[in-house]
Chains A and B, each alone.
Chain A
Amino acid sequence: MRNQDPRKTPFPARENWRRMKNRIILTVITVLALLPAIPLFLILFQLLKEGLSSLSLDFFLHLPAPPGEPGGGGIANALVGTLIIVGLAVLIGVPVSILAGIYLSEYGRHGKLSETIRVCADVLQGVPSIVIGIVAYAWVVKPMGHFSALSGSVALALMMIPVVVRTTEEVLRLVPDILREAALALGVPYWRTVLKVVLPTGMVGVSTGILIAVARIAGETAPLLFTAFGNQFLTLNPLEPMSALPLVIFNYAMSPYEDWWRQAWGASLVLVFMVLGLNIVSRILARKIAGEK
């Protein structure tokens, strides 16, 4: 029966059933694929519902007030604290990570040392954040004799280092060898080639890695509990205890006061949107790299 009109299938009924099956399975899979996105939207919905009411200009500009006081105070100290603690963590963690990433990609690519560093970075990434906090307590808080923003930054830096090291390595490896050769053929020493050609070419990717790492650490609470500790007042001194958004959320949510709970929701909303913003910016950057190729 092969010589029939090729557009007609020999068994039309079966063909329809096949098409039907295809459609059913496609629908099921699409629905299942949407499932992971649902929690995010539920979270955002919950945050907006509970937290939106506490958002106001005062919430961003004022210091915390005792429970029951009208107006309820704000989280200015925590916002500033998060910026300072995360900023310091970036200052501590990023240079080290970029240099390590450069070593892995440009110098020791296949060496034993590189393999060791890679394994260590992966293991460090898996260390629970509460343990990182305890270690930072032992290394910084104890010798200094008191809690400080700096010790919190050290803990957060430890958390971001493995992420930035690995992304830097991967991004730099993607820089085509012909660019390295172009520079070397001009008589440029290797270290200058790396710093002035390879690193700038991969800079967008490296920045993406840093943003992702920052988004990851900005919401970390456990490493700050016994390092930065928290502070009811606004301070800019990194050697003093300092507040941070996750700490405020933790303390307020644990408190017995209803207006503090509302504040915790508000602070959660701010924190989540900060992290979301960082993620979106890093995605845009990542798309920019993809577009350049």
Chain B
Amino acid sequence: MKVPYPIFRTEDLCAYYGDFMAIKHVTVSIPEHQVTAVMGPSGCGKTTFIRCLNRLHELLPGARITGKIYLRDEDILELDPIIVRRRVGMVFQRPNPFPTMTIYENVLAGYKLLGIRLKREEADRIVEDALRKAALWDEVKDVLHRRGTFLSGGQQQRLCIARALAVNPEVLLMDEPTSALDPKATLQIENLIVELKNTVTIVIVTHNMPQAGRISDYTAFFYMGELIEFGPTAEVFTNPKDPRTEEYLTGKFS
């Protein structure tokens, strides 16, 4: 299906773990400044799919990717993965702030770890900006120089979002970012996602159907490594074209 302003476009994308084909011939366009939910039963390749988009997939031994992935008009498989990952940020299933760093340093990790030196005022501005975007500033502004691991799970996850946003990515990939969080923290992150789409395109893997319904504009439904259905969330949810999507949505399998 065609989307108005695609930021990502894959063509015949296949991903392998050794001989096992985890993603099968996926061709899809992901619209800019929208939230795209990637759904499907366990083991269907959702996570593998988004890990192709920032080329984390190929880090596993024996893993490889074929086909094309265009970020705007560049094939990211031809680019240096390091450049790709600076343009395409990622938030993981479990909050993973760096335990040796303070909150302040965690937000700046994208600069510090690369050895980029920032002026004091600039660093302060980036930290405040990213933490505000991640809706965490008010809670941590007085404890910026404490370890990030002292925060609650939900706060840690927002810290990770701030860390990803601090380097100004074009796309933010989220791999079940709320599955390790309690309902209140989940709600906070959901609200945040909806707000963030003005500044960044979001692709989110989720198991949680109501969540996808609340926050996503588009939904991609994967089954056994194939992209079965893609379209505006409202349409996919109310009027699925493929019987497998319908079965999944009505809870016949998960």
CB neighbours of A201 from chain B (8 A): 98-100
Q: How far, in whole Å, are A187 and B113 apart by their CA atoms in the complex? A: 9
B98, A186: Cβ atoms under 8 Å?
Answer: no
CB neighbours of A66 from chain B (8 A): none
B96, A186: Cβ atoms under 8 Å?
Answer: no
Max chain B C-beta neighbours (<10 A), residue from A176, A193, A196: A196
For chain A, the count of residues having a C-beta within 8 Å of the partner chain is 21
A185, B113: Cβ atoms under 8 Å?
Answer: no
B98, A197: Cβ atoms under 8 Å?
Answer: yes
A179, B98: Cβ atoms under 8 Å?
Answer: yes
A36 at the interface (CB under 8 A from B): no
A276 at the interface (CB under 8 A from B): no
Interface string of A108-125 (1 = CB under 8 A from B): 001000000000000000
B164, A186: Cβ atoms under 8 Å?
Answer: yes
B187 at the interface (CB under 8 A from A): no
Residue of A nearest to B112 (CB): A196
CB neighbours of A197 from chain B (8 A): 98, 100, 113
Interface string of B111-142 (1 = CB under 8 A from A): 01111000000000000000000000000000
Query: Within the complex, what minimum Cβ distance (angstroms) separates B55 from chain A?
Result: 9
A288 at the interface (CB under 8 A from B): no
B153 at the interface (CB under 8 A from A): no
Instruction: Give the contacts of A162-213 with B (CB-CB under 8 A).
Output: 176, 178-179, 181-189, 192-193, 196-197, 200-201, 203
Interchain pairs with CB closer than 8 A, number: 71
B234 at the interface (CB under 8 A from A): no
CB neighbours of B110 from chain A (8 A): 186-188
A292 at the interface (CB under 8 A from B): yes
Interface string of B159-174 (1 = CB under 8 A from A): 0100110010000000
Residue of B nearest to A180 (CB): B59
Q: How far, in whole Å, are A203 and B101 apart by their CA atoms in the complex? A: 13
Residue of B nearest to A185 (CB): B90
Q: How far, in whole Å, are A163 and B36 apart by their CA atoms in the complex? A: 51
B164, A183: Cβ atoms under 8 Å?
Answer: no
Chain A binder among B10-18, B67-75, B81-89: B81-89
B113, A183: Cβ atoms under 8 Å?
Answer: yes
A181, B85: Cβ atoms under 8 Å?
Answer: no
A186, B94: Cβ atoms under 8 Å?
Answer: no
CB neighbours of B89 from chain A (8 A): 185-186
Query: Within the complex, what minimum Cβ distance (angstroms) separates B173 from chain A?
Result: 8
B98, A182: Cβ atoms under 8 Å?
Answer: yes
Q: How far, in whole Å, are A292 and B112 apart by their CA atoms in the complex? A: 24
Interface CB pairs A-B, < 8 A, 20: A178-B92, A179-B96, A181-B59, A182-B97, A182-B98, A182-B109, A184-B56, A184-B85, A185-B56, A185-B89, A185-B164, A186-B86, A187-B84, A187-B85, A188-B82, A192-B115, A196-B112, A196-B113, A197-B98, A200-B100
Given A182-B92, A185-B54, A186-B89: 12 more A-B contacts, CB < 8 Å: A110-B61, A182-B163, A183-B98, A184-B56, A184-B59, A185-B85, A186-B86, A186-B163, A187-B86, A187-B167, A197-B98, A203-B100
